[in-house]
A and B are shown apart, each in its own frame.
Chain A
Amino acid sequence: MTARDRLFANLGRALAMAPGRVSPAEAAARLDRRTPNLIPDRAQGSGEELVERFVQWAERVQATTARVATLADVPAAAADFLNRHNLPQRLRLAPHPLIEGLDWSSRPLIEVASGRAEAHDLSSLALAFAGIAETGTLMLHSGPQTPTTLNFLPDNHIVLLPARAIAGSYEAAWARLRAAFGDDWPRTVNLVTGPSRTADIEQELILGAHGPRRLHIIIVDDDARQEG
């Protein structure tokens, strides 16, 4: 008998009469219903209300935000961030059409390259799948166009977040992810709430422990792709 067989035999015996035991069919039905358990009031609402709440909670955890009207405004917003922090004018871009399609001609000094992040990359521009208003959390996932290293290796993590991608609750964001991927779930889903931090030395809060020291979220009101 393998360790697995022994474990399941033990579990079966110990649980046969357990209070709260349900049939496999009932358990499967519970799973399929995917009913949210309890959504706090703070996660309710829609539209502008959620965007504002997202910004409020994200800034509470030391993320910075910028709000722009269209994708055409993103390069300037990214450049402002780099300038504000006196950072080198180089960006590693997510190889996603929405990011790669940005027009950087108004910011000719910025050197951009797409792909996964490398050890020497100081700043990245990633694309969030969703924002979650209740805690100012970003949802990002891995994939050929959205490598995970962009979210962790660079010191400066700039994230493009379409305003319409801001959901109220974690559950609402999961529902969108399920709808987008079905059974073909991505390897990694990151919920990111503020930049990296530690309090391991005398409980003093210090940003930039291993992941990004800065998280800058550019919220784009209209993320329709630019023509031409």
Chain B
Amino acid sequence: MQSTAFDFENNAHKALDDAELRQAMARVATNFTGGRAAAAARLPEFEALRDRAVEIKNHTIANLDHYLALFERNVEKRGGKVHWCATPREARETILSLCRQVGARTVTKGKSMIAEEIALNPFLAENGVEPIETDLGEYIIQLADEPPSHIIGPAVHKTKRQVADLFHEHHRKYGKEKILTEGGDMVAEAREILRQKFLDADVGITGANFLVAETGSTIIVTNEGNGDLTQTLPQMHIVISAIDKVVPNLEDVSTILRVLARSATGQEMSVYTTFSTGPRRDGDLDGPGQFHVVLLDNGRSGLLGTEKQDLLRCIRCGACMNHCPVYHAVGGHAYGWVYPGPIGAAIDPVFLGLEEARHLPQASTFCGKCEQVCPMRIPLPKIMRHWREESFERRVTPVVPRTLMEAWAFVARHPRLYGLGARLAARILKALGRDGKIVSLPLGSGWTDGRDFPAPEGRTFQEMWSARRGARS
């Protein structure tokens, strides 16, 4: 997708003005957080499982080449094929050429963030292959021609009324004239229309939540069953995934599965966890005849050995955004690219470059909630801070805030000068106050446009302590 990350401020401004979005986001804030808390509380071993999950991923990352090679061997042993792609472009072209091999006209798609990352849909459409999103949320935003606003709930920003309007507009061609009001009727209508698409598709493309080295299996975790119809019915199953998804064996993935759904939706387990290993076997009555795994790097390997390596542990559960007060306020689209919320703020600069994504790591209060709930204990604020440092050093941070910061720091390094400045500021601000508050702060409209600034008491603690001859050592 085309990034608008650079426009974060504008995007956020628009989002804050959008009444329906605010209504939709209020639900995210309560439902997901409550669900996770309840699920974690039901499983006494939850925190210990998080620790084990972190260990597993750290071990895997330190031996990534080994496990990727093993994964490839096992895929091929079962008759599948792995395609290694360094860039989004290579991945898109690999997928298109596979589709062309079977003369595909339509492909059904399960939800895949990597497919968003490589902007697969517009590319396939331009090249005469029609992609059909089948996850209900993805289907809704495909109709709306919008990017996802959440990594597990792509349409969380839409209200029921908006979905009804979209269905009314796009389903008329299937003879569906009624404007629906009930969620259940909308789901039933989408189910009916998409069922035929599943049956007609030439290729099914899914993502993968995990890759299991031991067996050469790819795993999808879904609730709807769309991913299973996507990959079972067509003659070819293409998995688009990335190199950071591999885990050593089934024991390891079982541990991580125990924290995935609980962190994401608060479910004990998602409805369908499907392990796919090669194409259909001799004698099988169904399943795809071909199995391809397209594995994308797109800069991930460059994170190894850096202070941002921990990002490779991410299992894309969405807990960080579900709990993020900034995300709750502005929604996912404000971030302007595929991965919103705290994980996006930490990882989007890898894919977009810091110049384009410079706002994202700044747009956090460092409240720490994301790190607290991340099942993989990724230190998201710390990684955002590293980006801020890089931004400052490389002068991606604009000159005004940078200069102000350096000037302030100069004063803070000189206690006498600082004391003088503080005494002066205390008096000026006190004088600006009316009834104890300042309603308009010169050069501080960022503060006072939306709230008052309480006036200070007028003298500094240090001068008062000196006046009282308080102990200094």
Direct chain A–B contact by Cβ atoms under 8 Å: yes
Q: Which residues of A contact B (CB under 8 A)?
A: 2-4, 6-8, 10-12, 14-15, 18-22, 24, 27, 30-31, 34-38, 40-42, 57, 60-61, 95, 115-117, 119, 135-137, 142-144, 147-149, 151-153, 169-171, 174, 185-204, 206, 208-212
Task: Name the contact of B224 in the complex, choosing from A117, A144, A209 (C-beta under 8 A).
Answer: A209
| Chain-A contact segment, one of B45-53, B98-106, B423-431, B463-471 | B45-53
Asked if A147 contacts B284 (CB within 8 A), the reply is yes
Given contacts A2-B84, A10-B301, contact A119 B199 (CB under 8 A): yes
Chain A: CB-nearest residue to B221:
A191
Contacts of A36 in B (CB 8 A): 251, 254
Provide the bound-state CA to CA distance between A40 and B259, in Å: 12
Asked if B285 contacts A116 (CB within 8 A), the reply is yes
Does B249 make an interface contact (CB < 8 A)?
yes
Asked if B265 contacts A143 (CB within 8 A), the reply is no
Contacts of B90 in A (CB 8 A): 3
Contacts of B270 in A (CB 8 A): 193
Q: What's the nearest-Cβ distance from chain B to residue A56, in Å?
A: 11
Asked if B134 contacts A210 (CB within 8 A), the reply is yes
Q: What's the nearest-Cβ distance from chain A to residue B24, in Å?
A: 7
Contacts of A116 in B (CB 8 A): 285-286
Q: What's the nearest-Cβ distance from chain A to residue B112, in Å?
A: 16
Provide the bound-state CA to CA distance between A206 and B140, in Å: 16
Asked if A190 contacts B272 (CB within 8 A), the reply is yes
Number of B residues, CB within 8 Å of A: 100
Asked if B136 contacts A198 (CB within 8 A), the reply is yes
Does B443 make an interface contact (CB < 8 A)?
no
Contacts of A209 in B (CB 8 A): 136, 187, 191, 223-226
| Chain-A contact segment, one of B66-74, B202-210, B401-409 | B66-74
Asked if B65 contacts A12 (CB within 8 A), the reply is yes
Q: What's the nearest-Cβ distance from chain A to residue B206, in Å?
A: 12
| Chain-A contact segment, one of B156-164, B356-364, B444-452 | B156-164
Question: Can you add 4 more A-B contacts, CB < 8 Å, to A190-B273, A196-B272?
Answer: A18-B62, A40-B44, A199-B153, A200-B135
6 contacts between A and B (CB under 8 A): A4-B84, A10-B301, A14-B304, A189-B277, A201-B186, A208-B191
Provide the bound-state CA to CA distance between A189 and B65, in Å: 26
Provide the bound-state CA to CA distance between A100 and B56, in Å: 43
Asked if A210 contacts B255 (CB within 8 A), the reply is no
Contacts of A8 in B (CB 8 A): 65, 68-69
Contacts of B255 in A (CB 8 A): 37-38
Contacts of B267 in A (CB 8 A): 61, 193
Contacts of A15 in B (CB 8 A): 62-65, 304-305
Asked if A195 contacts B228 (CB within 8 A), the reply is no
Asked if B191 contacts A11 (CB within 8 A), the reply is no
Does B235 make an interface contact (CB < 8 A)?
no
Given contacts A143-B284, A152-B225, contact A7 B84 (CB under 8 A): yes
Chain B: CB-nearest residue to A57:
B268
Among B135, B140, B187, B297, the most chain A Cβ lie within 10 Å of the Cβ of B187
Provide the bound-state CA to CA distance between A40 and B46, in Å: 9
Provide the bound-state CA to CA distance between A35 and B55, in Å: 14
Chain B: CB-nearest residue to A150:
B286
Provide the bound-state CA to CA distance between A147 and B195, in Å: 19
Provide the bound-state CA to CA distance between A197 and B278, in Å: 27
Main secondary structure of the interface of A (DSSP, over half): loop
Q: What's the nearest-Cβ distance from chain B to residue A21, in Å?
A: 5
Provide the bound-state CA to CA distance between A188 and B59, in Å: 27
Q: What's the nearest-Cβ distance from chain A to residue B70, in Å?
A: 8
Provide the bound-state CA to CA distance between A36 and B228, in Å: 27
Asked if A210 contacts B225 (CB within 8 A), the reply is yes
Q: What's the nearest-Cβ distance from chain A to residue B286, in Å?
A: 5
Task: Name the contact of B183 in the complex, choosing from A14, A21, A201 (C-beta under 8 A).
Answer: A201
Does B86 make an interface contact (CB < 8 A)?
yes
Provide the bound-state CA to CA distance between A211 and B20, in Å: 30
Provide the bound-state CA to CA distance between A153 and B194, in Å: 12
Interface residues as binary, B276-316 with A (CB distance below 8 Å gives 1, 0 otherwise)? 11111101111100000000010001101100000000000
What are the 8 tightest A-B residue pairs by CB atom distance, in nearest-first order?
Answer: A211-B225, A209-B224, A20-B62, A200-B137, A14-B304, A144-B283, A116-B285, A4-B84
Asked if B225 contacts A42 (CB within 8 A), the reply is no
Asked if B225 contacts A149 (CB within 8 A), the reply is no
Task: Name the contact of A7 in the complex, choosing from B61, B86, B286 (C-beta under 8 A).
Answer: B86
Among A8, A190, A198, A206, the most chain B Cβ lie within 10 Å of the Cβ of A198
Provide the bound-state CA to CA distance between A42 and B223, in Å: 23
Contacts of B286 in A (CB 8 A): 116-117, 142, 147-149
Task: Name the contact of A198 in the complex, choosing from B56, B187, B229, B287 (C-beta under 8 A).
Answer: B187
Provide the bound-state CA to CA distance between A198 and B280, in Å: 28
Asked if A30 contacts B248 (CB within 8 A), the reply is yes
Q: What's the nearest-Cβ distance from chain B to residue A82, in Å?
A: 21
Provide the bound-state CA to CA distance between A22 and B61, in Å: 11
Contacts of A137 in B (CB 8 A): 269, 273
Q: What's the nearest-Cβ distance from chain B to residue A63, in Å?
A: 10
Provide the bound-state CA to CA distance between A41 and B42, in Å: 12
Contacts of A151 in B (CB 8 A): 228
